[in-house]
Chain A
C-alpha cells in the first residue's frame, strides 16, 4: 500500500475522527450520571458547530478559500426547519407562489430540506464569488452573508430581528426527539456522517485536485485541470453540510434568529476551523469544542470576555500556526523528509 503522503504519522490519523465521535458519544451517559443536563446542551452545540467547521475546512483548509458566508448558509438551514415548524404549529399552509405545502415538524423532512435549500443557494454565491481570485472571494462571501442576514431580519412574519421560536414538538419520523439526550445522538450521527464524507473526499481524486489547486494553481492548470468547477462543487457540498447543521441547531434550541447567521458568526466558524487545525479533517471538531468551552468559561468571569477572546484569536494566529491538531505531533514526532516504503 503506497501512501503518497510522506508524513508517517498520517497513517494513524484515521483513528482521530472515530475517537472523537466515541468520546462525544459518552457525554450523555456522563451527563445523566452527574445529573447535569447542561453538559449535553453544551455538547450538542459543540457537535452542531463542529459540523459547520468541518464542512468549512473543505473549502478553507483544502480549497484554500476563505469563506465568510457559512453562517448565512447555516442560518438558511435553520430557518427552513423553524418556518416549516411554525406553519405546522399554526396549522397554516406554507405558500410559495402558486404552490402550497403543509407545515411539518418532522426532521426527517425538514433536515434534508434545510440542507438542500442551503445547497441550492451555495452554488449561486459560489459562482459569483469564484469568478476571480481569493481576496474578492472573501469580500463577496462576506457581502452575501450580510444579504442573508438582512433577509432574515426582514422576515417580519417569522419574527424578524427577534427570531423565530419553535413551538411544536420536533420529531424524526416516528420518534420524538425533543428529548435532549436523544437529540444529541441525532446531531452526533450528523457529525459522524460529515466526518466520513469529508475525510473520503479529501483523499479522493477530487480532494487531490482541490488541494493541489490551493497550493499551486499554475501547476494544476499546467497539467490540464481548470480548478473553477472543483471549487464550486466543494463550496456547494460544504454549504449542504452547513445547512444541515443549521437545521440541527434550530431543532435543538427550538429557536432560530438572525444572530445565528450574522457575519461575526461566520468569522467564528473560521476561527473554530483554524483553531482546531485545517490541515486535518477532524481538527475543526477540537476547534469547535475549544471555542465553545472558552466562550463559556470566559463569559462566566467577565462580561467583557469578547476582549479576551479577540486577543486570544490574535495570539493564536500569530503563534499557533497549525492549530490544536498539531498537538498530536507531541505524541508522535514528525520525521522530516519521511522516507517511507
Chain B
C-alpha cells in the first residue's frame, strides 16, 4: 500500500468515523440517560437527507439544504418523541424495540409514498466538488474534508458542552445515575427532550453529508444505524468520549478492512472488531455505569 493510498484511506476512515459519531452520540446519550433503545434513530438520518435533497432541488442552495435538513430532522425527532416514544420510557426493552421497529416501517413506507422508490440525487455546489492536494501528490475531495471538519467541530463543541457547562453536567449526571440526578432537581424530562432534538439534528446532518456520497433513498438509515449501535456498544453506553473513540475506530477499521480484505471479510471486519473488544471489555471501552 502506497503512502498516498494509506493517507487517503485513513482520511476516509476518519471521515466515516465522524459521521458515525454524529449518529452514535445521540443514541448513546438517549440510551444512557433514559434507558431507551431507539431503533428509529436511523429514520432521522433519512429524514434529514430527504429534506435536504428536496430543498436543494427547490432552491438550488446547498446551504439552505443543510439548514432545512437539520431543522426537519430535529422537528421529526421532537414530534416522534412527544407523540410516540414518550409512552415507552418506563417500559421494558422489548416494547421499545417493537415500537421503534414499527416506526421504522411507518417512516420508510411514508417516505416511499411521499418521494417514490427511486433514490434522489444530491449535487455538490462547485465550491465543494473539487479536490485539493492536502499533501503533495495526494488529491482528496474537498467535500470529504469539509465533512471531516464539520464533524470534528461538532464533536469538539459537544465535548466542551458536555464536559464544561452546567447543562453538560446535568447530562452526565443523568447518564451515570438517573435517579440521583432527578432527586437533585435536574429536570430530566426536559433535558432529555432537548437532547433528543439535538441528537436528531446531528443524525440529520450526518444524513445530509452522506447524501452526495451515498445517495438518498428509502431505508438508508438502518444499515448506518446498526453500525452506530456497534459504535455505541464498543464505546460504552452513555459515554460521549467512548462514542467518539469507538466511531473513529470503527470508521478506520471498516475502511481499511474493505480495502485490504476480500469483500466478504471486509464487510464483517467491524463486527469482528466488536466481538474482540467485548471479549475484554464487556461494557465497552469507556463504560459509564448507571
Residues in A lying within 8 Å of B, measured CB to CB: 60, 66, 68, 128, 131-132, 134-136, 138-140, 142-144, 146-147, 150-151, 153-155, 263-264, 267, 270-271, 274, 304, 306-307, 309-314, 316-318
Contacts and interface: CB of A to CB of B under 8 A. Distances in A.
Interface stretch (B128-136, B191-199, B226-234): B226-234
Given A146-B271, A150-B268, A307 B98 contact: no
A154 B101 contact: no
A159 to B, nearest CB: 14
Nearest to B267: A150
Contacts of A68: 97
B57 interface: no
B222 interface: yes
A227 to B, nearest CB: 15
B186 to A, nearest CB: 22
With a 10 A CB-CB cut-off, give which of A60, A153, A309, A318 has the most chain B CB atoms. A318
Contacts of A147: 267-268, 271
Q: Is the interface of B mostly helix, strand, loop or mixed?
A: helix
Interface of B: 31, 35, 37, 84, 87, 93-95, 97-99, 101-110, 112-113, 222-223, 226, 229-230, 232-233, 237, 262-264, 267-268, 271, 274-275, 278-279, 282-283
A317 B232 CA distance: 26
A119 to B, nearest CB: 19
A271 B101 CA distance: 9
B102 to A, nearest CB: 3
A128 B97 contact: no
18 contacts: A66-B93, A128-B278, A131-B278, A139-B37, A139-B229, A140-B233, A143-B226, A143-B233, A143-B274, A150-B267, A154-B262, A154-B268, A304-B112, A306-B105, A307-B105, A307-B110, A311-B102, A314-B99
Contacts of A309: 102, 105
Nearest to A311: B106
Nearest to A140: B233
Given A144-B271, A151-B268, 4 more contacts: A66-B94, A128-B279, A138-B93, A139-B37
Contacts of B94: 60, 66, 270, 274
Contacts of A136: 233, 237, 282-283
Contact of B229 (A128, A143, A151, A154): A143
Nearest to B97: A66
A317 B274 contact: no
With a 10 A CB-CB cut-off, give which of B93, B97, B112 has the most chain A CB atoms. B97
A304 B268 contact: no
B233 A139 contact: yes
A270 B37 CA distance: 15
B7 to A, nearest CB: 27
A267 B101 contact: yes
Nearest to A125: B275
A151 B264 contact: yes
B102 A313 contact: yes
B31 A135 contact: yes
Contact of B102 (A60, A151, A314): A314
Contacts of B271: 143-144, 146-147
A317 B237 CA distance: 25
Nearest to B266: A154
Nearest to A267: B101
Nearest to B95: A317
